[in-house]
């Protein structure tokens, strides 16, 4: 399921790129919001994912720095979480990740549901996670700033 309320070329390009991931289910969402306080609390993140029909994980959200969020999302798009088989070419995964992250301001915060470790070659592998879906594996990035909130989330099965 890929949804987004915005209609611009960059968001459409992200959507088109995500459709090229050959395995799993991809969730894509960007919503306009205006919060001059910049509230990107865990409660706000949980409310957002619950509003999309996913399970709340409360305090289990892990905040990441932007470079880590970029590496993580690129890895998730590039290889499936179950068998580490290529799901999308690395260059397309990286370009899609960068385009997605460019939609947010420099004040954005980045969250995930999982602990990751870096394998040889720079790919990140999931160690443990708190699921927001019913899939065997699920993870991704939720990004929040004072104008938008969005996510790219992947469900993979073994």
Instruction: Look at residue 119 and tell me whether its pLDDT is greater than 90.
Output: no
- At 118, is the pLDDT very low, low, confident or very high (cuts 50, 70, 90)? confident
Q: What pLDDT digit, counting tens, does each position of 27-56 carry? A: 999 999 888 888 999 999 999 999 999 999
Q: What pLDDT digit, counting tens, does each position of 46-99 carry? A: 999 999 999 999 999 999 999 999 999 999 999 999 998 999 999 999 999 999
Beta bridge partners of 79: 86
Q: What is the pLDDT of residue 38?
A: 82
- At 108, is the pLDDT very low, low, confident or very high (cuts 50, 70, 90)? very high
Burial (Cβ within 10 Å: 0-12, 13-18, ≥19) of residue 116: buried
Task: Spell out the domain ranges in the chain.
Answer: 9-156
Average pLDDT, the chain: 91
- At 6, is the pLDDT very low, low, confident or very high (cuts 50, 70, 90)? low
- Tell me the CA distances in angstroms from 85 to 43, 68, 125, 138, one per residue in order: 34, 21, 12, 15
Taking a C-beta distance cutoff of 8 angstroms, is the pair 67, 43 a contact?
no
């Amino acid at each position: 399921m890929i949804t987004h309320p915005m209609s611009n070329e960059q968001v459409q390009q992200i959507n088109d790129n995500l459709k090229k991931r050959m395995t799993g289910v991809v969730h894509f969402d960007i919503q306009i919001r205006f919060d001059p306080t910049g509230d990107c609390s865990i409660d706000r993140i949980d409310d957002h994912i619950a509003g999309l029909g996913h399970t709340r994980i409360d305090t289990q959200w892990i905040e990441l720095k932007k470079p880590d969020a970029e590496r993580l999302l690129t890895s998730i798009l590039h290889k499936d979480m179950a068998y580490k088989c290529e799901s999308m070419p690395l260059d397309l995964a990286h370009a899609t990740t960068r385009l997605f992250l460019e939609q947010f301001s420099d004040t954005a915060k980045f969250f995930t549901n999982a602990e990751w470790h870096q394998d040889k070659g720079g790919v990140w592998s999931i160690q443990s996670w708190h699921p927001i879906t019913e899939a065997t594996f699920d993870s991704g990035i939720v990004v929040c700033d004072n104008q938008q909130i969005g996510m790219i989330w992947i469900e993979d099965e073994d």
